[in-house]
Structure 1
Amino acid sequence: MQEKIREELGESIKVKEKLSPEDIAAAADLITEAFNSGGKILLCGNGGSAADCQHIAGEFIGRFKKERDALPAISLSTDTSILTALANDYGGDIIFSRQVEALGREGDVLVAFSTSGTSPNIIKAAEAARDRKMKVIGFTGANGEKLKKLSDVCIMAGSKDTPRIQEAHITAAHIICGLVEANLF
């Protein structure tokens, strides 16, 4: 069992080491620019990625490492009344894009998580953000070209294994939170 644990830890480290520092810095710069200009970030993802969106929104609204003013961040996966109404009335593919249409403005940033890079509701959200002249930061895995094409910056975890991708994503997102705090405060 301990050998399996070491193997899993080693795989996680390898995937994280493949993350692009340049892309992480560029994502932090886009978010910093949005906050500096009065914009906000909207976050969307499915399953574990939805949990990551809630986590990161909490880091910006609360604090990451230092006491500071709250920063405007909205996870689009938290309101079950909105999500279920949209899924029931329009279908699951638009649960995030419809919210982007309602809440997104030029100067805002959409942070879109999709481990596959092909989730229809995430792709539609990125397209809606583009239509609103928002910036898009994609978080995806090794096969995420579809989301990457819609993104100004794409954090690609070099793996096809969902748990490893998610671990790399939260690491990159935490680094981004720290960089944004350092840029603003």
Structure 2
Amino acid sequence: MTRHLEDSAATIAALPGHIRTLLDWADRLGTCFANDGRLLVAGNGGSAAEAQHLSAELVGRFDGDRPPFSAIPLHADSSAVTAIGNDFGYEQTFERQVRAHARPGDVLILLTTSGESPNLMRAARVASALQVHTLAMTGAAPNPLADAVESAICVVGPRHQVQEGHLVLIHTLCKALEPTLRGIAPADHA
């Protein structure tokens, strides 16, 4: 157990190298929300839980009270996921939802420890075609998803430690975004 904690600490210790990228993401999301846009977010398995955590921080609150912002965890609509998976194949579960919900200027964040999930790759491709900003948190580079999106943060480590790193990055992104969100007046966000 001590080794696990030491390895997790080493993975997290490397995360400050991604601060510039997180600040860029915060700017992109702030612009999106200021223009009444939405965040679409998705992942599989544990990465789905991390994606849903991010959406909860934005719809609810991260640090103090402020207006809610539109963040849709695509994997959380179990009826859509199972219907699309059954009727069209699991590879299309997120792609079809991006087609339904995304508008130009929105942001799509995809989380994966492998960077190789076909359903996330298809979502990234369709989002790009719809002029949606595509961002990803993945495991180590190179990987196909990191190459397919506009901006990726690639965390090095075993999959469980990559997920731990993603959670820390999500909280850091929220911390960077919070001042911008507080600056968007409720009338601007009606």
Could you tell me the TM-score, scaled by structure 1's length?
0.94
Q: How does 1:96-107 map to 2 (within 5 A)?
A: 96-107=94-105
Q: What do the CA deviations read for 1:32-62 (whole angstroms, capped 9, x no partner)?
A: 1111121110001000011111111111000
Q: In the alignment, which residue of structure 1 is the partner of 2:20?
A: 22
Mean Cα displacement is larger for which, 106-115 or 21-30? Answer: 21-30
Secondary structure, in 3 states, of the residue corresponding to 1:77? helix
The answer to whether the Cα contact below 8 Å between 2:114 and 2:143 also exists between their aligned partners in 1 is no
Q: What do the CA deviations read for 1:49-101 (whole angstroms, capped 9, x no partner)?
A: 11111111111000001100001100001111111100000000000000000
Q: In the alignment, which residue of structure 1 is the partner of 2:188?
A: none
CA distance in 2, matches of 1:32, 1:12: 30
CA distance in 1, matches of 2:3, 2:130: 44
Displacement of 1:16 in angstroms is 1.8
In the alignment, structure 1 segments of 5+ residues that lack a partner are none
- The question of 1:181 aligning with 2:178 is answered yes
- The question of 1:10 aligning with 2:28 is answered no
1:145 to 143, 146, 152: 143
Displacement of 1:6 in angstroms is 2.3
- The question of 1:54 aligning with 2:52 is answered yes
1:82 to 80, 83, 88: 80
Which structure features the higher share of helix residues? 2
Counting matched residue pairs gives 180
Q: In the alignment, which residue of structure 1 is the partner of 2:130?
A: 132
Q: In the alignment, which residue of structure 2 is the partner of 1:115?
A: 113
Q: In the alignment, which residue of structure 2 is the partner of 1:158?
A: 156
In the alignment, structure 2 segments of 5+ residues that lack a partner are 183-190
Q: Which runs of 4+ in 1 moved over 4 A?
A: none
CA RMSD of aligned residues (A): 1.1
Q: In structure 2, what residue type is equivalent to 1:89? A: D
The answer to whether the Cα contact below 8 Å between 1:115 and 1:144 also exists between their aligned partners in 2 is no
Q: In the alignment, which residue of structure 2 is the partner of 1:169?
A: 166
